Each structure stands twice: as structure tokens, then as C-alpha cells.
Amino acid sequence: METTLKTHHRLLLTGAAGGLGTALRERLKGNCEVLRLSDKAGLGDAQAGEEIVLADLANADEVDAMVAGVDAIVHMGGISVEAPFAAILQANIVGAVNLYEAARRHGVKRVVFASSNHVTGFYKQSETIHADHPARPDGFYGLSKAFGEDLARLYFDRHGIETACVRIGSSFPEPRDRRMLATWLSFDDLHRLISACLSTPVLGHSIVFGMSNNAVTWWDNSRARHVGFVAQDSSDVFREAVFARTSTPDLNDPAAVYQGGGFVKAGPF
């Protein structure tokens, strides 16, 4: 049976009302004595071992109060789909700056930042890439996550704040289509990955691809071996069912050619 190491007294989870935040709410209680949950709304009442601090990431004062007194941050907040740039700017870019500035002021030295596979969405599905490949974002959302990764590097170089930039693939209860056979990350593996990032002795500024132990993959995670993440789940058990309910990809469709899938043609431009 797996045991989770309690690495921090007070851990902050942003975006706690979102899909992944909801999946992590109970799981992350094993990593800390007190789990502080934050979002703009929709968190309900605090349960045992929880605190709730509502905050808009674009509001620097609210973010400062959200971060005060925590030992580490799991930053899942912000917009997680393609959207007009004005909205992305406030939630994902201004919000990230506010978060790192608050971390600097309050002496928080470790962050797990929810980056995205859409930072590299314009690489082809026929390619295998690693963390040193240049960013090729597939939209404003992916661009904002590329900014977040660079921001995290700046705050590591200047202020020693260690960050794991976790390029999350597709984290759902099970893969929804053939693309997700390569990108799928189970909720339990997501928690294992975050736990590894929180507990590894030396994190530095690390880019880690968030994927389960899938037979088909486009991402080489070898540059993140020091994090110590070992995926336990795999999309392979869903392969037969996914093939049965989906059609053969049209290789004239950019969504079937590029790793970003539908994001390469989504959005307002």
C-alpha cells in the first residue's frame, strides 16, 4: 500500500474548485497537516484539515493573502482551455506574476506549477520530444503556460524558488479518444507526480511531462529522473474500448497531425 510523505505543514492548492483541483482535494491532504484551498468561488465549507481562502489570481492583494503562511504551492488555478487573450492575460499571466511575487515576499521556496502539453502542441504526433526542445505553443493558452515556465525559471535564478513545471497531458478518469492514449494521466498518477515534486530533495527548475505509463507516448521524461516520479497506471487497458468507439484519424486534419490535438485549431484567431 502506498504511503504519502507529509512534506509540508501548510500546503496551498489553487484552482481547487476546478476538475483537477477537485480530484486533488482529498489526495493532497496526505502531503500536509493543513491544506489551504483557493479559487474564486465554489469550494463549499472547509472540511477537517482544510482552510479556504477565496482569491482572484488577477488581484495582487488577494493573492498575497492567499499565499501568506504556506510552505509550498500547488498552482492549478487559471484558465485551462483556449480563450480570448484578454481573459488568458489576467488569469494565467498576471495571475502567475502575482503568485510568484507573493511567494517571494512570503519566503515560499517550492511551487508545483500546472503547465500544459499545449506549450509544445505544434510538434507532430510522429515526433518524440524532451524538456529541452523549444516551446511551440498551439494557442494563447499554451503561450501563457510557456510564459509561466519562463517566469518560474526567472524566480528560481533570482530568488531560489524551486518549481516543477508539470506539462499535464490529459488527466481524466479514462482516455476519451485515441490521442489520449498517448497523453493520458490518471488522477492517482497526477497525485504521485505532485508528491514526487514536493518531496524530492533538490528540485531546481524542472520541466516534467505529466503522463501515465502509456505504451504510446510523444514525450521523453528522462530529464526529470531526479524528481523520482514513477507512473503506476497506463492508458493501455483502455485501448481496445477507445479503438472500438472512435474512427481512424484523418491525417489531413491538423488535430490528428499535431500533438496539441484540437487546440491547434481552436480559439478566437
Q: Which of 100, 141, 155, 258 is catalytic?
A: 141
Tens of each residue's pLDDT in the chain, 269 residues = 577 889 999 999 999 999 999 999 999 999 999 999 999 988 999 999 999 999 999 999 999 999 999 999 999 999 999 999 999 999 999 999 999 999 999 999 999 999 999 999 999 999 999 999 999 999 999 999 999 999 999 999 999 999 999 999 999 999 999 999 999 999 999 999 999 999 999 999 999 999 999 999 999 999 999 999 999 999 999 999 999 999 999 999 999 999 999 999 998 77
* Nearest Cα to Cα of residue 150 among 103, 105, 201, 92: 92
Pairing mode of beta strands 72-75, 8-14 = parallel
Q: What is the pLDDT of residue 1?
A: 52
Report residue 130 as a C-alpha cell. Answer: 524532451
The domain spans of the chain are 8-265
In whole angstroms, give the CA distance from residue 184 to residue 234.
8
Catalytic: 258? no
At 43, phi and psi to the nearest 5?
Answer: -100, -10
pLDDT of residue 68: 98
The pLDDT assigned to 225 comes to: 95
> What's the fold here for domain 8-265?
Rossmann fold (3.40.50)
Q: What is the pTM of this model?
A: 0.96
